[in-house]
Amino acid sequence: METIRSYLGGRVEVAVGDITLFEGDAIVDAANSALAGGGGVDGAIHRAAGPALMAECRALRAGPLPEGLPAGRAVATGAGRLPVKGVIHAVGPIWRGGTADEPAILASAYADSLSIAASRGWDRVAFPAISTGVYGYPKALAAKVAYEAVSSFLASRDRPRVVSLVFFSRADAETFIRAVGEPGRA
């Protein structure tokens, strides 16, 4: 994984690569409400973690989350074989044209994930670009929401120490950087 940009004195990093290779405290999964696994980054995370991760997701559905996890919320599990302590399963909004509260739901998915990380004492956390694949959220619009949600969370807290925003392609990372512009230098 290669870091190509940082913001907020190094507390937010933009990286390019496969999030399953992230070596820190936790990675965030772009999950679905059923916690049922799927394609995209969710499929990659479950494949790399091994069956223990799905077993934990099933146990959450059988126990505290019988209705699943609503969009905008997150829940943590262990990480199976991944080289991190935990996986935070976050559900982003499905893009419906921008009039179904998508920005607030996306911001909430980031903020809830960060609250969980903070409460567990996880200092280095990586996010994929939630909702920007199968769920169809336009990447530049999602970038602004993600940056705003992460930076406003970090502004009032010491934890997590560093948040990595991991893009699967350099083009996606560059779209993010362009969309965010030069925060603080406007």
User: Which residues are paired to 125 by β-bridges?
Assistant: 26, 163
Residue 132 sits in the site that holds ligand APR (CB under 6 A): yes
Residue 113 sits in the site that holds ligand APR (CB under 6 A): no
Among 7, 12, 25, 42, binds ligand APR (CB under 6 A): 42
Supply the minimum distance, in Å, between the C-beta of residue 158 and ligand APR. 26
172 is catalytic: no
Among 77, 108, 113, 131, binds ligand APR (CB under 6 A): 131
Residue 68 sits in the site that holds ligand APR (CB under 6 A): no
CA distance 1 to 9: 20
3-state SS assignment for residue 132: coil
Which residue bears the tokens 């567990």?
120
Residue 22 sits in the site that holds ligand APR (CB under 6 A): no
Nearest 10 degrees: Cα torsion 96, 100, 106, 111: -170
Residue 2 sits in the site that holds ligand APR (CB under 6 A): no
User: Quick one: tokens of 83?
Assistant: 């080289």
- Which residue of the set 18, 25, 29, 42 is catalytic? 42
Residue 106 sits in the site that holds ligand APR (CB under 6 A): no
> Rounded to the nearest 5 degrees, what angle is found at the Cα of 170, between the Cα atoms of 92 and 36?
30
Supply the minimum distance, in Å, between the C-beta of residue 84 and ligand APR. 13
Nearer to ligand APR, 25 or 172 (CB): 172
Residue 22 CA, distance from chain mean position? 13
CA distance 157 to 172: 28
Query: Which range, of 37-45, 57-65, 98-106, 116-124, touches ligand APR by CB under 6 A?
Result: 37-45
Supply the minimum distance, in Å, between the C-beta of residue 142 and ligand APR. 8
Alpha helices in the chain (DSSP H): 40-49, 51-62, 102-120, 139-155, 170-180
Residues lying near ligand APR in the complex (CB under 6 A): 18-20, 30-32, 38-44, 92, 128-135, 166, 168, 172
